[in-house]
Amino acid sequence: MTNSERRRLAVVGQGYVGLPLSMRAVEVGFDVVGFDVDRSRVDRLTSGRTYIDDVTDGDVAAALATGRFRPTTEAGDLAGFDVAVVTVPTPLRDGAPDLAYVESAATALAPHVSPGCLVVLESTTYPGTTDDVFVPLLERGGPLRAGLDYQVGYSPERIDPSNPTWNFRNTPKIVAGVDDVSAKAVAEFYSTLVDRVVPVKGIREAELAKLLENTFRHVNIALVNELAIFCHGLGVDVWSVIEAASTKPFGFMPFTPGPGVGGHCLPIDPSYLSWQVRRSLGQAFRFIETANDINDHMPDYVVARAAEHLNNRSKAVKDSAVLLAGLAYKRNSGDARQSPALVVARRLQLLGARLSAIDPLVDPALVPAGVDLVEGTADQIAAADLVIVLTDHDDLPWDVLERHADHVLDTRNRVRAEAVDRL
């Protein structure tokens, strides 16, 4: 992109989705305004520091050095954009979607919409949000109309934090528009950023495709989690069962059990679909509601297994020294959003356990009060009445743990030692 072709991109939201998008856009030549309401985030970016796994301090510093990346908390700085992308959170509140951040983003952008510009929503949400909520708020800013005077589209985010293979650039990008002209504009924009765009029939199909992706994972993880519970009762090694089934070269995809699901996607996104089906059709989406129940109760099952393990040695959970290996919701990431490991920690604390934890990736500020964050030395591991493996980071001291831990409950099938009780 030459200087004469440079376009101004506004990215609303500078979190796990918006920041990688901003970095890539700067890389290909856009002038990027990175807007976020969190002052601490903007201050860190302005000083060249990151706060997510997939963007380094060097990436931020390099973007700033180009003079084409401007982090800001001022909505007025959004003015003059050619393209705006909204990447804000969409949490659940009491089982219903909370679109407050999406609504605020649309309201902030509305005064700055201009003829020929493009606005894209990336936030995960239920079908109909773009048409029924986002566009009306954009149009409230003046006489211009979406699809007639400017283009609007939807492109669901597919960020998988800390994935060493699939990143923002090489993950296929679903794109859709409120009309054919908008759909073409969305596809052309993302084709400058990613290797492959995937146009779909319409906005609602694109919105639902994202929910299907995560519901598929959520339901299958629930299946193997419940299978793990049954296998323990039957005296069957669930990990051996999964390994054997995985040798089938067709018709099977392996999923593995664990202490529950975490992050922003799996604990939340399928519930958007379940909520909409119940609201619109008056029916329950039984697969999703069953999966929610199973996965939400896995931390309780892990605590029950820990209590069983200690009880078999005539020990109570109260006053037992329990060491938690890993606190993040997924391996090789510092992301602790909705982490089941934190739920396990809180449950054990309520039972009176003395807790310590090893996790070099998680921000110490996110470690629950009363949990002693340790390095995982031989003495610290040997002093534990029970070690519970909750997150299988590559850089945890596995060799030390295997040599010095007398009793291990492994929810991730990572430890190779005789004194291991696997999920």
Please tell me the CATH code under which domain 297-422 is placed. Answer: 3.40.50.720
Looking at per-residue pLDDT, the higher value among 245 and 163 belongs to 245
Is-same-fold flag (3-200; 210-294)?
A: no
Residue 265: active-site member: yes
pTM over cut 0.75: yes
The average confidence (pLDDT) of the chain is: 94
At residue 137 the predicted structure's pLDDT band, cuts being 50, 70 and 90, is very high
Catalytic residue among 12, 200, 265, 390: 265
Residue-wise pLDDT for 174-186, tens only, equals 999 999 999 999 9
At residue 1 the predicted structure's pLDDT band, cuts being 50, 70 and 90, is low
How many Cβ atoms from other residues are within 10 Å of residue 93's Cβ? 9
Instruction: Please give the pLDDT value at position 3.
Output: 46
Residue-wise pLDDT for 140-197, tens only, equals 978 999 999 999 999 999 988 888 899 999 999 999 999 999 999 999 999 999 999 9
Distance, in Å, from the CA atom of 378 to the CA atom of 224, rounded to the nearest integer, reads 33
Q: Environment class of residue 418 by beta-carbon count within 10 Å: exposed (0-12), middle (13-18) or buried (19+)?
A: exposed
Domain regions of the chain by residue span: 3-200, 210-294, 297-422
At residue 4 the predicted structure's pLDDT band, cuts being 50, 70 and 90, is very low
Distance, in Å, from the CA atom of 267 to the CA atom of 293, rounded to the nearest integer, reads 11
Q: Which CATH class is domain 210-294?
A: mainly alpha
Identity of the amino acid at 403: R
As a 3-state breakdown, the chain gives helix, strand, coil percent values, each rounded to 5, of 40, 15, 45
Mean pLDDT of 65-73: 98
Residue-wise pLDDT for 360-407, tens only, equals 999 999 899 999 999 999 999 999 999 999 999 999 999 999 999 999
Asked whether the predicted pLDDT for residue 5 surpasses 70, the reply is no
Query: For residues 368 and 345, is the Cβ–Cβ distance under 8 A?
Result: yes
Please tell me the CATH code under which domain 3-200 is placed. Answer: 3.40.50.720
Helix (H) or strand (E) holding 298: helix 298-311
Q: Environment class of residue 283 by beta-carbon count within 10 Å: exposed (0-12), middle (13-18) or buried (19+)?
A: exposed
At residue 311 the predicted structure's pLDDT band, cuts being 50, 70 and 90, is very high
